[in-house]
Amino acid sequence: MKVDVVDIKGTKLREVELPATIFEAPINVDLMHQAYVRQLANARLGTHDTKVRSEVSGGGRKPWKQKGTGRARQGSTNAAQWVGGGRIHTPHPRSYEQRMPKKMRQAALRSALSAKAAEVGSIVIVDDFDLKDAKTRSMSEALGNLVGNSTALVLMPSKDQSYETMMRSAGNIEGTKVLLASYLNVRDLLGFDKVVLPLKTIDVLTAHLG
């Protein structure tokens, strides 16, 4: 698959051939869904908690004697049917973590990248995405030239000074996220209209997913 390579002003410079193993892989919707659900599940804290009858205050002696009152037998005011009593079948701290083999995660990313590449114009290749300053205006102008009004996920090859500049300049731009290529995930990949890739990022993706 050949795509145009542009500069930050949107001017076409040349064409580049994208790796077929990553951008033309079979699209497996079920695998992408599994990876997406896993990511959402692993993001849950699982710190919710409710008190059972042994944890609420009160209780103590038996409310009334077992027989002879005409009322239902009761053992403690800590029971669930009493106001202020403990709760039954309610949430307690737990882990929602889901495991997924590395090869399946990589296949899900290849599938998502291929789905993006199949949409015309969804993959934007930039020769060198290097801003002179960390100003929001500079980043906004560059993105306007590259993706217009679409939301954009910008994948950077490494955590260097250029990456730090991009992070600061994109922080206040709605619908834009700067991410390291090694941290690429299905949720972010499918959550933005377009994916902006500097040329060096393609090499990182090839090493990570190829």
Tokens 């300049």, residue? Answer: 169
What's the confidence (pLDDT) of residue 21? 93
Task: Give 79: exposed, middle or buried? Use CB within 10 Å, 0-12, 13-18, 19+.
Answer: middle
What's the confidence (pLDDT) of residue 138? 87
- In sequence order, the β-bridge partners of residue 16 are 3
Identify which of 172, 181, 190, 185 has the alpha carbon closest to the alpha carbon of residue 154: 181
pTM of the model: 0.83
- Dihedral, CA atoms, 52, 53, 56, 62, nearest 10 degrees? 180
Identify which of 47, 188, 44, 36 has the alpha carbon closest to the alpha carbon of residue 116: 188
- Dihedral, CA atoms, 134, 137, 142, 148, nearest 10 degrees? 140
* Residues 136 and 167: beta-carbon distance below 8 Å: no
Alpha-carbon gap, residue 122 to 193, rounded angstroms: 7
Cα→Cα distances 99→106, 124, 193, Å = 14, 32, 28
- State whether CATH 3.40.1370.10 applies to domain 2-28+99-209: yes
What DSSP character marks residue 105?
H
* Residues 178 and 156: beta-carbon distance below 8 Å: yes
Which residues, 6+ apart, have CB-to-CB distance to 128 below 8 Å? Answer: 7, 8, 198, 199
Which residues, 6+ apart, have CB-to-CB distance to 158 below 8 Å? Answer: 180, 200, 204
What's the confidence (pLDDT) of residue 133? 77
What's the confidence (pLDDT) of residue 113? 95
Alpha-carbon gap, residue 117 to 99, rounded angstroms: 28
Segment (H or E) for 35: helix 29-42
Please state the domain extents for the chain: 2-28+99-209
What's the confidence (pLDDT) of residue 17? 92
Show pLDDT as tens, one digit a residue, over the chain (210 residues): 889 999 888 888 999 999 999 999 999 999 999 999 999 999 999 999 999 999 999 888 999 999 999 999 999 999 999 999 999 999 999 999 999 999 999 999 999 999 999 988 899 999 988 777 778 898 899 999 999 899 999 999 988 888 888 888 888 899 999 999 999 999 999 999 999 999 999 999 999 887
Alpha-carbon gap, residue 141 to 117, rounded angstroms: 24
